[in-house]
Amino acid sequence: MAFVQEQLVASAKNTASTTDTQTIVEPTSGELIVSVISVDKTSGGLTVPSGFAAPNGDRIGTDYDSAKVSGSGAYKYSDSTETDLVWTLGNSDESNSAALVYSGDIGNADVDAQDDSGAGTTQDQTTGTTANIANATSLGIAWWGIDSGVNFGGAVTTSNSYTQIVKENGTGGTSGLVVGQRTITVQAAQESSCSDVTTADEMFGFIAVFNAAVAGGGRIMSSLAHQGGLAGMGGIAGIGGGLAG
């Protein structure tokens, strides 16, 4: 069982706007699409891209929204029609976003976690720690946002075998975004930290784990455990391959 990262698109929007769009090539039906965003200052509320809702997907965790930086994430299983993934912001702000597309035997979303520095500043931000995962072979995705993206300008590190695949540090005082991924091969709680930030700043972190598909495939429901509550999530089997992690 393995996962393949089929697409990765990421960019910084250095001009204030009420939308943030990543454009992907139409995926194969059933492939997993994950979309994450970091917003400079308060977002005023974030609306996930069209179609990123149950039962085909859902928001990941609870949005982080503060006076300095905000962020969120969402996922869905492709119906092969997706191209423009548009986040809508309640306020006009600069932002950074990334879209990731995976094939493989990817089933339901198992657990997630999140953490933040609140109104404080840090050079080492954890995602928070998930509960133990249900399946020894899973896909982990972690991401972090920061108030001033220039502080992601150095050799930022991500821990616990989460390979850094995105680092958007914007320009000037706009927000930043770092994304890491891991193929998990043990049944254990997951956590990753983003460290070696240039200057201590307000940050948030998220992590989500996607199970291998259940035997026989098909759509199943599970509970996503995260700080602040529970949300039901859906899943569907994809196709095979391999991902370095």
> pLDDT for 158-171, tens place per residue?
999 999 999 998 77
Mean pLDDT of 77-84: 95
Q: Which residues contact 215 (CB under 8 A, 6 or more apart)?
A: none
Establish if 160 belongs to a structural domain: yes
pLDDT of residue 216: 35
Establish if 240 belongs to a structural domain: no
Looking at 35-39, 100-104, 141-145, 230-234, which range is the least confident one?
230-234
Mean pLDDT of 212-230: 35
CB 108 within 8 A of CB 220: yes
Closest among 180, 183, 185, 181 to 135, alpha carbons compared:
185
Mean pLDDT of 101-122: 87
CB 99 within 8 A of CB 33: yes
Task: Identify which has the larger pLDDT, 229 or 7.
Answer: 7
Looking at 158-172, 182-196, 227-241, which range is the least confident one?
227-241
Task: Identify which has the larger pLDDT, 175 or 106.
Answer: 175
**Reduced to 3 states, what is the DSSP secondary structure of residue 233?**
strand
**Reduced to 3 states, what is the DSSP secondary structure of residue 123?**
coil
Establish if 242 belongs to a structural domain: no
Q: How confident is the model at residue 108 (pLDDT cuts 50, 70, 90)?
A: low
CA distance linking residue 195 with residue 67, whole number of Å: 22
Tokens of 94: 């600069």
Establish if 195 belongs to a structural domain: yes
Strand order in 138-146's β-sheet? 106-116, 203-212, 138-146, 176-184, 163-168
pLDDT of residue 172: 67
Closest among 162, 42, 137, 150 to 93, alpha carbons compared:
42
pLDDT of residue 3: 84
**Reduced to 3 states, what is the DSSP secondary structure of residue 150?**
helix
pLDDT at 202 over 50: yes
CA distance linking residue 22 with residue 83, whole number of Å: 8
Q: Which domain does 26 fall in, by range?
A: 3-235
CA distance linking residue 96 with residue 149, whole number of Å: 9
pLDDT of residue 190: 95
Establish if 245 belongs to a structural domain: no
Strand order in 125-126's β-sheet? 125-126, 193-195, 157-158
Tally the domains of the chain. Answer: 1
Establish if 243 belongs to a structural domain: no
Mean pLDDT of 54-82: 92
pLDDT at 56 over 70: yes
Establish if 128 belongs to a structural domain: yes
CA distance linking residue 210 with residue 176, whole number of Å: 25
